[in-house]
Structure 1
Amino acid sequence: MALTYTPVDDIPQIVQELRATFKSGLTKPLNYRREQLKGLFNLLDENEELFRESTFKDLHKPPAETLLGEILTVKQECHEAIKNLEKWAAKQPIKTGLVNKMDGVHIRKDPLGMVLIIGAWNYPTNLLLAPAVGAIAAGNTVVLKPSEVSSHTAALITRLLPKYLDSRSYRIINGAATETTVLLEHKFDHIFYTGSGNIGKIIMGAAAKQLTPVTLELGGKSPAFISKEVDLTIAARRIAFGKYFNCGQTCIAPDYVIIERGSEDELITQINAAILEFYTAAPQTSDSYGRIVNKNHFHRLKSILDKTQGKVVTGGDTQEDDLYIAPTVVLGVKPEDSLMEAELFGPILPIMVVDSIDEGIDYVNDHDQPLALYVFSKSSKVTDHILDNTRSGGVLVNDTLTHFLVPGLPFGGTGPSGIGNYHGQRSFDVFSHERSTLVKSLGMEKVNDLKYPPYTEKKISWAAWALFDKAKYSANAANPGANGSDSKL
């Protein structure tokens, strides 16, 4: 089924209809939200084979990787949201002092309104629908913009979504730069974007014109530190898994390795053993190894690899007709190497050899904060030293990728690797407004006399006593700094 772009002239009408639906209050009842979440779960549960086929056509993604990285993760998000919806949406009571003891003080969790979610091509189901779980659970109407690069999956979701979700509240708009540009001209109450930093800047610029808040899930060069005392066999298997899963086209893939001098040869031996174990001696024929998404990305990666000054010690084979790049390891890369200029987003693993962990820390800190940072070490002292002296969106110790699968862990970047985070309750919170609410009692009017004119020393003194700790304030309100207290607010 070919992907049909949404006519540009239809976009304003779609946006207007979704805005009207939100104003009608349709999406606010918890029962409605719950039923829509069940529908999204069933969409994935009942069409698993179709999603496997579409992602294979888009990315030659092995069916197991589609199940693990796309279907199960979104179903888990749906399950968590359905199970916890009442708790997440409940008013949050706030402890108060004496003045408000008789009042109602709480935080409401209100939906933001109409939101826009723009997905990414590398995980075309997960990165579109996982944020949608939070938006639906929070009671919003949603515009979903799939990536046109993964066109087969975009077409499948476009066909299936109206069968499982209420089209009055949730709509898909397909297209490329032209359609997205028109879409961004409209006012949304939140924009959630997953993709590259360069496009993220465009999204943020468009949002700024409307004062629309954004969540940006971007990327960056995620390093993997390997300390001397770690078991290199285990480290190599886990790094190879994270690097070559989805053919390296994962925003949190370990982008490069930092290893202390003297351990690099053994690491390469063990990575080679892992590649042989995972993909056989001929990865191109393996049912477990994917492909590059299109020729543009293939040529980008091949050009970078051709220019490297490092030594290709594993792989390096490419075949354009099959969009195939072998699992590749490059040893001895320098900071100025072509492989170290930007996030690779492919199955090429540079190894940077350093004389000390601190040298690696300095390199990481001289560049943008990564989306993920990996540490392989048996020593908590070494691990803490690395984490205490670096910044990143998230951290995983002694494994790769799997922190993405924990719903209770907020997932997101920092600085150039992203703004905001999601997963689990955080997805609900992203698309909710925490509305501070104070419900005053109509009784005890004599107490309120303290705030009314005419003001007197006695009134101010009593007010200070009621609002703050009595011991920190003198009876003489005209001297608020007495007894060493600081009354500045």
Structure 2
Amino acid sequence: MRNPDITYHDLSKEEAQRLLQGMKAFYDKGLTRNLSYRKYQLRKLKSVIKKYEKDIEAALYKDLGKSSAESFMTEIGILYTSISWMLKNMDRHLQVKRAQPHLPTILSNGFIHKEPYGTVLIISAFNYPFQLLLEPLIGAIAAGNVAVVKPSEQAVYTEAVLVKIIKEAFPTGAVVVATGGKETVTSLTTAPFDYIFFTGSVPTGRIIMENAAKNLVPVTLELGGKSPALVMKRAEIKNAARKIVFGKFLNSGQTCIAPDYVLVHKDRAKELVLEMKKMLKKFYGEDPKASPDYGRIISKKSLKRLEDLLEKDREALIYGGKVDINAHYFGPTLLLKDDFSLATMEEEIFGPILPIILYEDLHKTLGEIEAFGKPLAFYVFTEDKALGDRVLQKVSFGGGCLNDVIFHIATPHLPFGGVGTSGMGNYHGAYSLRTFSHEKSILKSRAKFPMTLNEPPFSPLKEKLLRWVLR
């Protein structure tokens, strides 16, 4: 689907190079080195977002069926708090830090400077098309970079609003929007940017990293994977059901950190399923399709993929499964199985299908979780806090919660990112500043007090002192 409000143009490699040269020219002016200028940019961005808030909500509704409340909570309001935090705290996190004294360099002083990388490329995903583009941009601006941003071409109406906002909020050369599809992404990721930040699928992430490697460009990859929710024997079932249903069916399951599947102790499975069905009706009513709070799937292609998955697992269906291709609707769907032999367990679902799998042996189950690779998120539900902590320590994952889902991303005081095949690098708050800054080390010595212990000729006494200093 193409939005008539946007002129689409796939960038060639030559055009991407010219675009990058223009960005470098703006960066070389030195404006973004000034902290006051960076704050001005952030304040202007916030004011322009506020100006077009209703347009943003309307676009998100057209693209993904999001309600105004969900759009504000997950796409707009979260950016306001991020900008506010950055304006309040960036001075402290970006100030020059004095290094601790070290005996071999005792006559010198060491300093750590956080400098911007320079030119940054940010490529976003369709599922949270507004927030996932602007959240990393906030960090890139605060760190002093210039940026090319590439919105998802699938969220066509949100893309149009983003083009308008970026043009109004930033001068030409500071932040530029690139539209288009795969050709644009290839042209941009093979250009010698100073940093690339990508949010999207694992297969595309591999291509991005391969392209970036040709120019030795550092990357942050925010990917995905099969993020489990583990409901243990001593879980508070009503809480687990409420949190899992919220996290899974938010944005119709198109959330990279949504619970991809549930593992529940066999003694609590019946109770959990019953409570989940109650919560689905409480959240979305008897007919979720008529609920203003239940979203839509981004495209017919994505919906067809989900429909094919469900058809393979239909014998495990215990709730939902209703589909309307023309309305881009896929209803909340629950599957129940006593093992992992489901088509939906062979890939990241990224939609409103939730497999619920029974377990009995915790040790074996943790091994099965790890066999899928390191997930982006992991959620554990239990009132046995000590056991919960041991499980969270045992499994390697990007980030997660005990007795909750998703909300670990809502605070700027925690890093958000993956590990292994679920991604590399992180951001949010101070971690965004770290991601988009190079820590430059500088050692300052004084000519009046030269260090000569390291210089020949080496007398027996000098060698003895050298061995003592470097002990």
The reply to whether TM is greater than 0.5 is yes
- 1:333 is displaced (CA, Å) by 5.6
Once the two structures are superposed, residues 120-162 of structure 1 have per-residue CA deviations (whole angstroms, 9 ceiling, x without a partner) of 1000011100000111011111000000000111111101212
Query: Using a 3 Å threshold, how does the CA distance of structure 1 residues 227 and 310 change in structure 2: closer, same or farther?
Result: farther
Superposed counterparts of 1:278-427, under 5 Å? 278-308=283-313, 310-332=315-337, 334-427=339-432
Return the offset for 1:98. 4.0
1:221 Cα deviation from its structure 2 partner: 0.5
Check conservation: 1:36, 1:166, Cα contact below 8 A. no
1:197 aligns with 2:202: yes
1:461 maps onto 2:464 in alignment:
yes
Aligned-residue offset at 1:75: 1.5
SS of 2:356's equivalent in the other structure is: strand
**Hey, what does 2:60 align to over in structure 1?**
55
**What is the match of residue 122 of structure 1?**
127
Determine the structure 1 residue equivalent to 2:274.
269
The structure having more radius of gyration, on CA atoms, is: 1
Per the alignment, residue 41 of structure 2 pairs with 36
The farther-off stretch of 370-379 and 182-191 is 182-191
Distance across 1 between alignment mates of 2:358 and 2:103: 62
Query: Which letter maps to 1:106?
Result: F
Secondary structure at the aligned position of 2:271 is classed as helix
- Secondary structure in 2 aligned to 1:463? helix
Q: Could you report, residue by residue, the CA deviation over 1:423-446 in whole angstroms, capped at 9, with x for unpaired residues?
A: 00110111100111101112223x
Instruction: Tell me how large the CA RMSD over aligned residues is.
Output: 1.4
| Percentage identity across paired residues of the two chains | 37
Match of 1:75 among 76, 80, 104: 80
Q: Distance in 2 between matches of 1:6 and 1:167?
A: 18
In structure 2, C-alpha distance between the alignment counterparts of 1:90 and 1:310, rounded to whole Å: 60
For 2:295 and 2:453, locate their aligned partners in 1 and report how far apart those are by CA, in whole Å.
72
Shift of 1:36: 0.6
Per-residue displacement from partner, 1:181-217 (whole Å, max 9, x unpaired)?
Answer: 1222210111000000000011001001000011000
Q: Unaligned 5+ residue runs, structure 1?
A: 474-489
1:119 offset after TM fit, Å? Answer: 0.5
Contact preservation (8 Å) 1:147, 1:154: yes
Match of 1:215 in 2: 220
The separation in 2 between residues aligned to 1:281 and 1:291, in whole angstroms, is 17
**Does the residue aligned with 1:230 lie in a helix, a strand or coil?**
coil
* CA distance in 2: counterparts of 1:239 and 1:163, whole angstroms: 39
Structure 2 residue ranges without an equivalent (≥5): none
Residue 173 (structure 1) aligned to one of 131, 154, 178: 178
- For 1:116 and 1:374, locate their aligned partners in 2 and report how far apart those are by CA, in whole Å: 32
Aligned to 1:26: 31
The answer to whether the 8 Å contact 1:192/1:215 transfers is yes
Measure the CA separation in 2 of the matches of 1:3 and 1:352: 45
Structure 1 contact 221–255 (Cα < 8 Å) conserved: yes
Q: Identify which of 3, 8, 22 aligns with 1:5.
A: 8
Deviation at 1:449, TM superposition (A): 2.6
Q: Residue 78 of structure 1 aligns to a residue in which SS?
A: helix
In structure 2, distance between residues paired with 1:449 and 1:88: 36
SS in 1 for 2:448: coil
TM score, norm. by length of structure 1: 0.93
**Count of aligned residue pairs for this structure pair:** 466
The SS at the match of 2:405 is: coil
Q: CA deviation at 1:368?
A: 1.1
Counterpart amino acid of 2:253?
A: G
C-alpha offsets along residues 393-417 of structure 1, whole Å, 9 cap, x if unaligned? 1121111111110111000000000
Separation (CA, whole Å) in 1 of partners of 2:338 and 2:346: 11
Give the drift of 1:19: 1.1
Contact kept? 2:137, 2:147, Cα under 8 Å = yes
| AA at the equivalent of 2:350 | F
